[in-house]
Amino acid sequence: MTFNEFMDKVAARNSHEPEFMQAVKEVIETVWDVYEATPRYQQYNILERIVEPERVIQFAVPWMDDEGKVHVNRGYRVQFNSAIGPYKGGIRFHPSVNLSVMKFLGFEQTFKNSLTTLPMGGGKGGADFDARGRSDGEIMRFCHSFMAELYRHIGPNTDVPAGDIGVGRREIGYMFGYYKKLVNEFTGVFTGKGFEWGGSRIRPEATGFGVVYFTEEMLKVQGDSFKGKRVAISGFGNVAWGAVQKINELGGKVVTISGPDGYILDEDGISGEKVDYMTVLRASNNDRVKDYADKYPSAKFFPGKRPWEVPVDIAIPCATQNELNEEDAQNLINNKIMCLTEAANMPCTPKAIEMIQNAKILFAPGKAANAGGVATSGLEMTQNSNRLSWPAEKVNQELHAIMKGIHEACRTHGTQPDGYINYVKGANVAGFVKVANAMCDMGLI
């Protein structure tokens, strides 16, 4: 079988799922030579099996708004692969959620979790719920209805959800609380919990911190650092917030954040109380970053635009999938950026990645760079199993070491003959081999 024949076969089953096909193509094309060189993988038909989710759950989520009107959303949990541990991955509430998005995220999560070196399989869940303008009571009722079905499919040794877009500490509280009531057990079934009820220190910051630690390692290989670098960030959510904090700490200057309404350029840098203000903006359930420019006169708002046109040294997309396209990549290349790190899941289109790599610009794929979030979730699971909680410094140290290890794995598997490190190939091969070997060891199950 050739690579194209394989992709045709996958497309015949999944062609109506563009995000999932995009994620599959990127992984399989970079591991194809490993597959061809390993008879055991062929004997066990690993590739066809690894692109097939082990279980897909879809369910109705009925709920009542504050006016007494009844709504119904569609809920999902994709339990993608459990070869190396219980299913693990976030829950996303956003109107753009559909089965293709859930499957792409569950597939990516499988390799990301493998890269962390912790025993976690891959999963993802969510609903096409739009939280904008919704009251706290409406969000609580939605979360309870979602959990009224999901609870029977998860468990601390089966499947452990966490947050993602639209799901933070508040939503996890409502879901965890309802699970606890239904099952009559207080267990580590969610990560990203509040610190008072089993959550790990540093988990809120972990994804953003990890992204910056990974980028720091890439810069180090080039004999460089964050010191004095201008950085463009997109989004203004949890991941963006963590990344901005750590970049400031390392001496970089973040000049942009963005929302669906446009982007903010703040030449004075987004630091100090402005970073705290990002959490206020996000918690407002209002998708406008424009408010930042109304509050801080040093900032300018560019409606309907993306931040990739601003001259910077480093670009870090932190919002959502396919938010950086070939036109944006061309702008970044023209502005001579040195590094592009994916903090969101699959934020760059395949064409944009190809252009950046051809220009020999440092490029970090999301499944490696943003793995610090789920890695710290893994550390939360360990703390819950041991019934104790570690201080922030310890969690941060572990996270830092894990990110350095992931960078090293990418470097080992991705260094090209000309010395350029293809981090996409490195991450995919390192993540894939461990899952594939475990699947072979267990036979056909």
Catalytic residues: 124
Does 106 participate in binding ligand 2IT (rule CB under 6 A)?
Answer: no
State the binding string over 368-407 for ligand 2IT (x if CB under 6 A, else -): -----xx--x------------------------------
Least separation in angstroms between residue 347's CB and ligand 2IT is 12
Nearest residue to 57 via CA among 192, 161, 176, 212: 161
**From 138, 159, 164, 342, residue interacting with ligand 2IT (rule: CB under 6 A):** 164
d(CA 17, CA 324) in angstroms, rounded, equals: 20
**From 19, 164, 171, 216, residue interacting with ligand NDP (rule: CB under 6 A):** 164
Q: How far, in whole angstroms, is CA 259 from its chain's centroid?
A: 17
Residue 357 or 377: the one with the smaller Cβ distance to ligand 2IT is 377
Residue 73 or 376: the one with the smaller Cβ distance to ligand 2IT is 376
Sequence-separated (6 or more) residues with CB below 8 Å from residue 220 = none
Does 161 participate in binding ligand NDP (rule CB under 6 A)?
Answer: no
Does 19 participate in binding ligand NDP (rule CB under 6 A)?
Answer: no
Is the CB of residue 226 less than 8 Å from the CB of residue 215? Answer: yes
Only segment of 65-73, 83-91, 136-144, 214-222 that touches ligand 2IT (CB under 6 A): 83-91
**From 344, 362, 409, 410, residue interacting with ligand NDP (rule: CB under 6 A):** 344
403 binds, among ligand 2IT, ligand NDP, none (CB under 5 to 8 A by kind): none
Residue 230 or 407: the one with the smaller Cβ distance to ligand 2IT is 407
d(CA 117, CA 329) in angstroms, rounded, equals: 32
Where does 342-436 show beta strands of DSSP type E? 362-364
What are residue 233's DSSP bridge partners? 316
| Residue in this structure with the two tokens 């207080």, named with its chain if needed | 186
Residue 47 or 243: the one with the smaller Cβ distance to ligand 2IT is 243
Nearest residue to 74 via CA among 96, 52, 103, 53: 96
Residue 124 or 141: the one with the smaller Cβ distance to ligand 2IT is 124
Give one DSSP letter per residue of 430-441, joined into a string.
HHHHHHHHHHHH
Q: How far, in whole angstroms, is CA 191 from its chain's centroid?
A: 14
- Count the neighbouring beta carbons within 10 Å of the beta carbon of residue 256: 26
d(CA 160, CA 198) in angstroms, rounded, equals: 14
b/e code 84-98 from CB counts within 10 Å (16+ = b): bbbbbbbbbbbeebe
Least separation in angstroms between residue 223's CB and ligand NDP is 29
Q: How far, in whole angstroms, is CA 193 from its chain's centroid?
A: 18
**From 27, 165, 403, 436, residue interacting with ligand NDP (rule: CB under 6 A):** 165
Residue 78 or 265: the one with the smaller Cβ distance to ligand 2IT is 78
**From 110, 114, 370, 428, residue interacting with ligand NDP (rule: CB under 6 A):** 370
**From 235, 378, 426, 431, residue interacting with ligand NDP (rule: CB under 6 A):** 235
Size of the site for ligand 2IT (CB under 6 A): 12
Angle between helices 350-358 and 18-36 (to 10 degrees): 50
Does 23 participate in binding ligand NDP (rule CB under 6 A)?
Answer: no
What are residue 159's DSSP bridge partners? 87, 155
Return the CA Rg of the chain.
21
Least separation in angstroms between residue 402's CB and ligand NDP is 14
Which residues here bind ligand 2IT, judged by CB under 6 A? 88-90, 109, 112, 162, 164, 191, 345, 373-374, 377
Which residues here bind ligand NDP, judged by CB under 6 A? 94, 96, 163-166, 207, 235-239, 259-260, 282, 287, 318-320, 343-345, 370, 373
